[in-house]
Amino acid sequence: MEHALKATDTLWQAVLGREQAPDPKFFYAVNSTGVYCRPACPSRRPKRRNVAFYASSKQAEADGFRACLRCHPTRQSPKEQTASLVSKACRMIEEAGEEPSLAQLARQSGLSPFHFQRTFKAATGVTPKAYARAHRMKRFRDIVGSGDGSITTAIYDAGYSSSSRFYENATKALGMTPKLVRKGGQGVKILFAIGECSLGSVLVASSAKGVCAMLLGDTAEQVSDDLQKRFPKADLIGDDPDYRALIADVVRFVDDPKYGFNLPLDIQGTAFQQRVWEAIRDIPVGTTASYSEIAERIGAPKSSRAVAQACGANNIAVAIPCHRVVRSDGGLSGYRWGVERKSAILQAERKAE
């Protein structure tokens, strides 16, 4: 067993638990049968002393083991097949000059339109049309942000069939007008104020539409630098006396959640991110939900990882309470502003109830 991995309890527990994974991190081989399998193989579990672990099927075969006829470790699993199918569809959408129809995407995948749409949404959290719309908007932002050509040219180069179709939802999706996107947000006025709370320094910032950032940090310099990075070309105004008066309410809300947060929000993100954030805001104060539960609530049960990424992309701490999202075992996973702060916020909310 020249090519075998070092045996560990973690690998063995994965075998005992028949760990499911689209891309197996390892294979296990059984000396008494000469067969190697996926961790999720339905066959009877062997005795541990007869098991060796391999990083790849080729390494297992190099040591003389043959592929299991039950789990077919050299074939794509159903999850791998789905991932490959959805990946090809995404590439087709991204590379197409015009948005492909649902029928075209389904035909390429070999599925019916209904089955394809359901499979695509389960894997990505959004419909093919929503994915295409988000991709076109990203292409527009990239093109117009480079400064090459006019806004009209960028609209058509991004794949829009007409300027009217683009302008229908452009400002909402971009968070500002197309002209301001071209200027990198230059000239957009954002008021901000910084205060001290039980979690350290807290910064709240608002655009004309509402609160666009609520940041936590160890020092005032840290949160102000964070704001500058998020809005590098905006006109940041920190000396407005009327706005500074709001910071007391924000600090009171962070320190004692029972006061609630009543300021309007300027929430900017993809369609999927906004669905996640909306679901998170529905989690009652003092309670938690897992990433997989949020994925279920938004109708995308296989998108737990994407839910975690949406939590990480949240700019508005506490008011969009991604601190209430935890692992399936109830443990506190990573938090953009630190796991210790996540724990402290949850404890404060539970005491307030």
Residues 66-81, mean pLDDT to the nearest whole number:
82
Average pLDDT value for the chain: 80
Angle between helices 271-281 and 304-312 (to 10 degrees): 80
Under a CB-based contact definition with an 8 Å cutoff, are residues 314 and 229 in contact?
A: no
From the candidates 41, 68, 71, 322, which is the catalytic residue? Answer: 322
Q: What is the pLDDT of residue 82?
A: 79
Q: What is the pLDDT of residue 183?
A: 46
Q: Is 37 considered catalytic here?
A: yes
Q: Is 322 considered catalytic here?
A: yes
Q: What is the pLDDT of residue 156?
A: 47
Q: What is the pLDDT of residue 182?
A: 45
Q: What is the pLDDT of residue 189?
A: 82
Q: Which of these ranges, 46-50, 240-244, 309-313, has the smallest mean pLDDT?
A: 240-244
Under a CB-based contact definition with an 8 Å cutoff, are residues 85 and 119 in contact?
A: yes
Q: Is the pLDDT of residue 178 over 50?
A: no
From the candidates 37, 41, 90, 311, which is the catalytic residue? Answer: 37
* HEC secondary structure over the chain: CCCCECCCHHHHHHHHCCCCCCCCCCEEEECCCCEEECCCCCCCCCCHHHEEEECCHHHHHHCCCEECCCCCCCCCCHHHHHHHHHHHHHHHHHHCCCCCCHHHHHHHHCCCHHHHHHHHHHHHCCCHHHHHHHHHHHHHHHHHHCCCCCHHHHHHHCCCCCHHHHHCCHHHHHCCCHHHHHCCCCCCEEEEEEEEECCEEEEEEECCCCEEEEEEECCHHHHHHHHHHHCCCCEEECCCHHHHCCHHHHHHHHHCHHHCCCCCECCCCCHHHHHHHHHHHCCCCCCCEEHHHHHHHCCCCCCHHHHHHHHHCCCECCCCCHHHEECCCCCCCCCCCCHHHHHHHHHHHHHHC
Q: What is the pLDDT of residue 175?
A: 47
The better pLDDT of the pair 139, 320 is held by 320
Q: Which of these ranges, 51-65, 132-146, 176-190, 198-212, has the smallest mean pLDDT?
A: 176-190
Q: Is the pLDDT of residue 94 over 70?
A: yes
pLDDT band at 129 (very low <50, low <70, confident <90, very high): confident
